[in-house]
Amino acid sequence: MIPTWQLRARFAIRLAEMYGTEVPAYHTLVDVCREVNDEAARARGEDGERLGSIERVTAERHGAIRVGSPREMAEVARVFAAFGMLPVGFYDLRDASASSVPVVSTAFRPIDAAELARNPFRVFTSMLVTEDRRFFDAETQERLEAFVAGRELFGAELLALADRAAAQEGLGEDDAERLLALATDAFRLTTEPIERDWYDRLERISAVAADIGGVPATHINHLTPRVLDIDELYVRMQARGITMISEIQGPPDWEGPDVLLRQTSFKALAEERVFRHADGSIHKGSLRVRFGEVEQRGIALTRKGRDVYDRLVAEADRRLAETPGAKRQDVARDVWREGLPATERELDLEGLGFFTYRVAGPAPDTDRAELRDLVASGVLVAEPIVYEDFLPRSAAGIFQSNLSDEGTRDDAQTGADYDLGRLAELVGAEIHDPFDLYAAQRDASLREAGHELGVRIDETTDATRSNR
């Protein structure tokens, strides 16, 4: 029996092999990442591995796919469940973006620490919101829905195998091989012709809508490797003549702890595709929809920490608007220095970041102790929990910087309401709240440490209360 995590690890490799043949620039990105990671790991020594071993970081990827309806989203959820990847978090990119990005998203990923440590492969998955009047009029909605309903992204054999793998938490070798082949194939770029007029019509509204509802199949949009020094990577990619988007999304480069997620990408490259024109003739053409993204991951923030982050982003926006010509990273760095603690220790003490706690010293001779005292005396060592999720604004920024055209939207219309609960209902699966998952990981480590020390660990400081 091949267990779930091995299926997931193999799935990530299979997708990377396929994507690498489809988008050769991906190899350049991976090569440069490896170079930067090796150097950073050497330069930083053990400290470089605080947010994951160099093996994990080098192997780590996330993918992105886009689907057209709740039915397709529900099927994707079944396929990913086979690999132990469950929906986590809700991202509304319709409002996070000034341009026309008519999707809501979640991320499929392992949810417990042991599974993440074995293989953290995750896929950012977006669903087109066809009923949102800001983007689609009634007639376009109807045509879009009919188009999407008429295609089959995942065949019956794949779904049945996936259900079985999920139920048994693994598959025998032959079935595993079949599952991997079918699942990988489902995300291959199709050679079936694209209806030129329909695609173009959707593209005038939104390039993302055209990529989802204008083509007969889905495909992997990008596969993102993880890098330890994204600023260095950005410079090196440009030195190799690869055009990058104008900036790095998310937190700035600064001397304090890395939090959440920093991302950037190279611009989508032209890829040959086949089109059917109105007169029935078939011609080759090209599309630019797939790009190469890279990311640097930092510490997961608590709700309180996330509020601080959101406020800092808003403050950076405000100052940027007041200082024409200034660079976002420079402005944000100043804002960060004013608003975030400069050390991991303070991040923990102020209840802004998520940490687990490992026993490193002898038990105190009391039966109760304060967490902060145990850490201060070195009995416990705090280790950061790495952020496993995404950021709506960065996602929108990545979408947006890769659009050659803003598309059109009519904000006078009322949008379709979506939240985590509604998406979960449509998908037919629970969507986990990322904050709950990090908190559970933290709490489990404290319970374990308490057991090991034979001490009841109290958390009466403000810091821990705000972790809830």
**Interface contacts to Ni ion, rule CB under 5 A:** 64, 224, 293
Closer to ligand OOG by Cβ: residue 64 or 176: 64
Question: Are the C-beta atoms of residues 240 and 32 closer than 8 Å to each other?
Answer: yes
CA distance 194 to 201: 12
Closer to Ni ion by Cβ: residue 265 or 467: 265
Candidate residues 64, 165, 189, 386; the one interacting with ligand OOG per rule CB under 6 A: 64
Tokens of 225: 């490797």
Q: What number of residues does the chain have?
A: 468
CB count in 10 Å sphere of residue 195: 17
- For the bound state, the minimum distance from the C-beta of residue 223 to ligand OOG, rounded and expressed in Å, comes to 10
Does residue 26 belong to the site contacting ligand OOG (CB under 6 A)? no
Which window, 50-58, 76-84, 193-201, 388-396, contacts ligand OOG (CB under 6 A)?
A: 388-396
Does residue 423 belong to the site contacting ligand OOG (CB under 6 A)? no
CA distance 391 to 45: 29
Does residue 227 belong to the site contacting ligand OOG (CB under 6 A)? no
The contact pattern for ligand OOG, residues 238-277, with x = CB under 6 A and - = no contact, is -------------------------x--------------
Rounded to 5 degrees, what are φ and ψ at 229? -140, 90
3-state secondary structure 46-75: HHHHCCCCHHHHHHCEEEEEEECCHHHHHH
Which window, 16-24, 50-58, 180-188, 390-398, contacts ligand OOG (CB under 6 A)?
A: 390-398
What 8-state DSSP symbol labels residue 85? -
Closer to ligand OOG by Cβ: residue 126 or 441: 126
Q: Which of ligand OOG, Ni ion, none does 302 bind, CB closer than 5 to 8 A by kind?
A: none
Does residue 4 belong to the site contacting ligand OOG (CB under 6 A)? no
Candidate residues 162, 230, 371, 398; the one interacting with ligand OOG per rule CB under 6 A: 398
CA distance 230 to 238: 12
- For the bound state, the minimum distance from the C-beta of residue 398 to ligand OOG, rounded and expressed in Å, comes to 5
Candidate residues 80, 390, 435, 438; the one interacting with ligand OOG per rule CB under 6 A: 390
Burial class for 138, CB neighbours closer than 10 Å (0-12, 13-18, 19+): exposed
C-alpha closest to that of 117 among 348, 386, 381, 357: 386
Amino acid symbol at 17:
E
Does residue 121 belong to the site contacting ligand OOG (CB under 6 A)? no
Q: Which of residues 82-111 bind ligand OOG (CB under 6 A)?
A: none
Beta strands 103-109; 86-92: pairing state: antiparallel
Does residue 400 belong to the site contacting ligand OOG (CB under 6 A)? no
CA distance 51 to 53: 7
Does residue 401 belong to the site contacting ligand OOG (CB under 6 A)? no
Amino acid symbol at 285:
G
Does residue 126 belong to the site contacting ligand OOG (CB under 6 A)? yes
Task: Name the residues that contact ligand OOG, by CB under 6 A.
Answer: 64, 66, 124, 126, 221, 263, 293, 390, 394-395, 398-399
